Structure 1
């Protein structure tokens, strides 16, 4: 068996490649694999044609082709060969207001790719339900993302007087604004990973938040951020999965996240669940975690157990069993 993996151009982002690199490393122990990255980072017709042509040249009737990472349209080059498509989320469709762009993306990023693929893997039940609400198909299956083995339990004395609260991401969905407001008056240090906007910097000043900021970290750098923090903060408004939840749990940190899917599915009762639209709900979570040691330790213990579901060995086994059905 041989698997060809197709990823978007690195300039578009490394997050999906990072998640799958862990998986591919494990799959490669028993299956031959090759990784391809499409040559164009753009989404204009000329870029799409270039990427589709590149993919077409790599097709092989004796190989399973696995496409992931918001380049679903390259499946147009894989008609007639064995193909797996992994869909991480539908943010590319759900956030589009222009009806013409929305129709284009529905056709070429969702409808045709799903019709062409032999199997469509969803990384959460939420993604599966979202797709099912838009297209009738029996090709959908759920396989979660795997956690990188570099994340290991790291003991740390909890700093109750000045806890370090790690916030991952500064995009619209990461809810940094409400986080800042909720932390007003709470003695802590907010560690923010991601490029800050001027409006966010202004808000940090307005609420007098003690903070530091870093972006473009290596994998080891990200690991160290989890190791050095006391609380992982992830009250997101929208996610396809939510890796920081299980990365925090595997490291041995208490996690605060949103009571929305798929975060409820991923956390599985091993995190503090908050209403991401309610500043008071988020604030109450911080106060409870900081003041209640028994509550905090119980969540950490549950988090360790929950993270086992996402081990790379477990997830790779599920993918290999899936590939075998296409041989």
Structure 2
């Protein structure tokens, strides 16, 4: 049995990861959502572990407020997998695993300038310093592993790279006309899809500039926050997200920093050409299946979007091939081998 522990809702990237790996290994898995902040309440978790209504109190008094679940989890002999380094380190069970998605909190040039974000990053850095002491660390890309080793003096053998998977619910739908009509999207425009939060590292200012440079034959479709006069979707189901991908002509993802980059693979699986950033993690994830550009060069980005549309058949074919690396079956087998290795080591240590 694997016990996954999350603090995130499934609308976030790290929350989606938690729910995905839990579902991947059911029924040999369970998931516990701990509520530090009520805004992360999620309909998918029927019995979350509640704190008080005061977020700050939940963090400062966590060992008291969550003492029952801490005692329960720490007494277990099975694998306890903390699904993100954003979870406050309050558990110390026998067989602990943590997934470190990124070390963005360590990158001061990417972080938000707001006071609250600066305070948040102080705590996230503290959490990272605790989690890197674990003997069992999963990272979601080789890039993140290299960043951990660059920022911390730890044994590289403690870190295993197992990427997330992208659900088979993402797939190609032939009838683009029907999908545009269903979701109120214009049929006489080239639709540029942008999927992200509004964090500074998502580079939404460039998205707006590129759309202005492309002209009136193009229209921006956003899953996330509004950008300019975009057609914007919020809090939609995975089925709807898949349909929006299929209704569009290209994914444009000029991110400045990622731990993985879900939208790139989601676009590959739905048969959508991709223009993204020429940064290490996207080069790793996308291989040669996307057009990669300097995310700060406006002219290069505009040309790349047009080029992707002109060469879409070749990009789509390559994208399908790369997406196979991130199938549920591939990632499930990697996780099972990883967990089995931990338990074999635990038995060996117990008998010695």
Q: Judge same fold: TM > 0.5, yes or no.
A: yes
Q: Relative contact order: is structure 1 or structure 2 higher (C-alpha 8 Å, sep ≥ 6)?
A: 1
Aligned residue-pair number: 305
The secondary structure found in structure 2 opposite 1:34 is strand
Alpha-carbon displacement from aligned partner over 1:62-100 (angstroms, at most 9, x marks no partner): 2100001233432x4215x10111011112332468998
Unaligned regions of 5+ residues in structure 2, if any? 38-54, 178-185, 344-352
Q: In the superposition, relative to structure 1, how do residues 69 and 100 fare at CA in structure 2: closer, same or farther (>3 Å)?
A: closer
For structure 1, the 5+ residue unaligned runs are: none
Q: Which residue of 2 aligns with 1:34?
A: 30
Q: Aligned in 2, Cα 1:242/1:321: closer, same or farther, shift over 3 Å?
A: same
- Taking the aligned partners of 2:64 and 2:291, their CA distance within structure 1 comes to 45
Question: Once the 2 structures are TM-superposed, how far is the Cα of residue 217 of structure 1 from its aligned partner?
Answer: 1.4
Pick from 62, 85, 92: which aligns with 1:78? Answer: 92
> Does structure 1 residue 172 correspond to structure 2 residue 200?
yes
Other-structure match for 2:45: none
Contact 1:122 1:128 in 2 (8 A): yes
Which one is further off, 173-182 or 87-96?
87-96
Equivalent-residue separation in structure 1 for 2:148 and 2:65 (angstroms): 24
Cα separation, partners in 2 of 1:192 and 1:105, compared to 1, 3 Å: closer
CA distance in 2 between counterparts of 1:92 and 1:273 reads 25
Q: Secondary structure at 1:217's aligned position in 2? A: coil
Residue 189 of structure 1: which of 219, 223, 230 is its match? 219
> CA distance change for structure 1 residues 257 and 9 in 2, over 3 Å: closer, same or farther?
closer
Alignment CA distance shift 1:235-1:48 (3 Å): farther
Secondary structure at the counterpart of residue 326 of structure 1: helix
2:160 aligned with 1:132: no
Give me the whole-angstrom Cα distance separating, in 1, the residues matched to 2:35 and 2:154: 31
Match of 1:88 in 2: 101
| CA-CA distance at 1:182 after TM superposition | 1.7
Kept after mapping to 2: 8 A contact 1:40/1:47:
no
- Aligned pairs (5 A) from 1:118-129: 118-129=135-146
Shift of 1:14: 3.6
Spell out the pairing of 1:304-315 with structure 2 (5 A cutoff). Answer: 304-315=320-331
Distance 1:260 1:7, change over 3 A: same
Q: Secondary structure at the match of 1:325?
A: helix
Question: Distance between the aligned counterparts of 1:43 and 1:311, measured in 2?
Answer: 39
Q: Tell me the residue number matched to 1:7.
A: 6
Change (3 A) 1:278 1:47: farther
- SS across alignment from 1:121: strand
Q: How far off its partner does 1:102 sit?
A: 5.9
Q: 2: CA distance between counterparts of 1:43 and 1:127? A: 29
> Secondary structure of the equivalent of 1:77?
coil
Counterpart-to-counterpart distance in 2, 1:119 and 1:87: 11
Confirm or deny that 1:143 pairs with 2:162: yes
